[in-house]
Amino acid sequence: MSDVGGKELRIIGFLCNWCSYGGADAAGVGRFSQPTDLRIIRMPCTGRVDPLFVLKALVSGADGVLVSGCHPRDCHYSEGNYYARRRLEVLKRLLPMLGIHEDRFHYTWVSASEGARWQQVVTRFTERIHELGPMDSLDPELAVCAIRELGGENGQADQPAPASGE
């Protein structure tokens, strides 16, 4: 159950190792309560975040994707987040043309010391995704999804849900 209420949704977070990942950690150490829908993937830098990671997550069943890195001028590698900013802004403006709500994707900057900001970012983004609800299913008949039933029959119902919506 999500803290935001209702069924937990699948949100993927790509976090820069040098800032936001620490920020998320700081939020945890500071015992700031956060929704639990987010699954975090640690990245060396937002400059490593290919916009295709976001798109791949969205077509594969993620309901929202969050990218968070170092504030401009604070990149551990000087300029990774500047490249990321351009790419991610272009991506954000592509989504509506695909029929995907642009709010399903968000990028922001959180430093390692900003635990409170991290809490706000996650809470607000998760709330927004819950307002939008789950992503529309792309392939209800996807072969690899059908086989999940096999797992269910064998008492493995706690497996992760099918990759492309139920």
Partner 1 sequence: MMASLFIVSKDIPQWLAAMAKTRKVFATQRESGAIIFKPYDPGREVVFERESVTSCKEAVFPQTKVLFSYFVKKNPETGETAGVAIEESLNKPAPQAVVFGTRPCGTKGFLTFDRVFDCDRIRDPYYTSLRERTAFITLACDRPGATCFCHWVGGAPDDPKGSDALLTPVEGGFLVEAVTEKGEELVNEARSLFAEADEKRREEGAAVRDKAKGMLTPKPDLTDIGPALEKRFRDLDFWEDMTAACVSCNMCTYLCPTCYCFNITDESDGQAGVRLRTWDACMSQQYSLEASGHNPRPTRAHRMRNRVNHKFWYHPKEYGGVISCCGCGRCVKHCPGSVDIRRILLTALERKDEDAE
Partner 2 sequence: MSQLTELKEAIRKALPDLDLVLGWREGYDALHAPPYHIRRQEDLEHLVFGPMCVNNLASQLMHLRGKKVGIIVKGCDARSVVELLQEKIVNRESLVIFAMPCKGVLDVKKIRRALDIDHAREVHFHNGTIEITSGDKTSSVELKDVLADKCLRCHYPNATEYDHFIGEPVEPRVSAEEAAADPAMEELAGMDLTERFAFWKTHMNRCLRCYACRNSCPLCFCRDVCLADSRDPHWQSQETSVREKWMFQMIHAMHLAGRCTQCGECERACPVGIPILLLKKHLNAVVKDLFNYEAGIDPTATPPLFTFKVEEENIKEIEL
Number of residues that bind partner 2 (CB under 8 A): 40
Binding flag, residue 136, partner 2 (CB under 8 A) = yes
Q: Among residues 81, 82, 45, 38, which one has the least CA distance to residue 62? A: 38
Look-up of token digits 């490249």? 83
CB within 8 A of 150, min separation 6: which ones? Answer: none
Q: Closer to partner 2 at the Cβ: 48 or 85?
A: 85
| Per-residue 3-state assignment (H helix, E strand, C coil) for 115-156 | HHHHHHHHHHHHHHHHHHCCCCCCCCCCHHHHCHHHHHHCCC
d(CA 92, CA 109): 16
Judged by CB under 8 A, the chain residues 1 through 40 that form the site for partner 1 are none
Judged by CB under 8 A, the chain residues 119 through 148 that form the site for partner 1 are 143-148
Identified binder of partner 2 from the candidate list 28, 42, 79, 166, rule CB under 8 A:
79
Identified binder of partner 2 from the candidate list 31, 73, 150, 157, rule CB under 8 A:
73
The secondary element (H helix, E strand) that includes residue 96 is helix 80-98
Q: Closer to partner 2 at the Cβ: 18 or 109?
A: 109
Min dist. Cβ of residue 66 to partner 2 (A): 11
Min dist. Cβ of residue 153 to partner 2 (A): 22
Identified binder of partner 2 from the candidate list 109, 115, 126, 162, rule CB under 8 A:
109
Identified binder of partner 2 from the candidate list 1, 33, 143, 158, rule CB under 8 A:
143
Residue 113, both tokens: 């010391």
Stretch that binds partner 2, among 2-10, 28-36, 80-88, 149-157 (CB under 8 A): 80-88
Q: What is the greatest pairwise CA distance in the chain?
A: 53
Min dist. Cβ of residue 29 to partner 2 (A): 21
